[in-house]
Amino acid sequence: MFSKEEYDVWKKDSYVFQGGVRRLEERFLCFPRRSTTSGRKIPMFSKEEYDVWKIQMQAPLAAQDGDMWFVITDGPMKIMKTNTAIAISAGAPQWIEKTRMEWTSEDKKKANLDNVDKDILYKTLDNNMFSKIQTCTTAKEIFEKMTQIYEGNEKTKENKLTVTLQKFELIRMKPEETLCSAPKPIGPHK
């Protein structure tokens, strides 16, 4: 987090960028400090830069708690204990879920990681994207829904690849064209 003086200097210097301060302020969001981390920047969601956003989300979440990214990829953590009522077979204990009354303070923190992940994800989304995921109940569901919207399922990805390949194969240079006189592609260049 910035001190007031640092923020004022940053804000003053930021006016030189096209789009002004508002655009720069919306680009990043600092989530509150926790005992396990200093304030880390979480990128604001951008549908144009979804692939970048998805990658940039991993590091700060994993840095805050090693299990936060696990919760997004595998779902909320279940707090387990060994089942002493069943004999251990082949050296591997049997596991059962702990009741809430049995949770330690560490167990409570682990069980709450899904809520922390959802909170961070919600803070990065604009109203349009939030309306698309508001019915999701876990951080994993939110992330999967966003992935489906912006990447599609396997069939959609396959279709996009096929169409792109067909367009590429149809590109032909006319006999009178040279590389220098060929039409320039339409769209953004990076």
**Residue 20 resides in a domain:** yes
**Residue 83 resides in a domain:** no
Higher-scoring residue by pLDDT: 175, 181: 175
Instruction: Report the range of poorest mean pLDDT among 26-30, 32-36, 135-139, 175-179.
Output: 32-36
- Tokens 């707090």, residue located: 79
**Residue 172 resides in a domain:** no
Helical segments of 47-171, H only:
50-64, 68-74, 105-111, 113-124, 127-133, 139-151, 154-170
pLDDT at 23 over 50: no
Give the pLDDT band (50/70/90) at residue 89.
low
pLDDT at 13 over 60: no
How far is Cα 113 from Cα 118, in angstroms, rounded to an integer? Answer: 9
pLDDT at 32 over 90: no
**Residue 131 resides in a domain:** yes
Tell me what pLDDT residue 183 has: 62
How far is Cα 143 from Cα 6, in angstroms, rounded to an integer? Answer: 34
Rg (CA), the chain: 24
Instruction: Give the domain range for residue 15.
Output: 1-29
**Residue 94 resides in a domain:** no
* Same domain for 106 and 51: yes
**Residue 187 resides in a domain:** no
pLDDT digits (tens, 9 = 90+) for 98-124: 999 999 999 999 999 999 999 999 999
For 48, 61, 72, the CA distances from 24, given in Å and listed in that order, are 16, 22, 27
- The half-sphere exposure of 165 on its side-chain side, counting CA atoms within 13 A, is 6
Percent of the chain with pLDDT over 70: 71
Domain count, the chain: 2
**Residue 136 resides in a domain:** yes
* Same domain for 65 and 12: no
* Same domain for 41 and 10: no
Give the pLDDT band (50/70/90) at residue 29.
very low
* Same domain for 146 and 119: yes
* Same domain for 151 and 123: yes
pLDDT digits (tens, 9 = 90+) for 38-74: 456 788 988 888 888 988 888 888 888 889 999 999 9
**Residue 147 resides in a domain:** yes
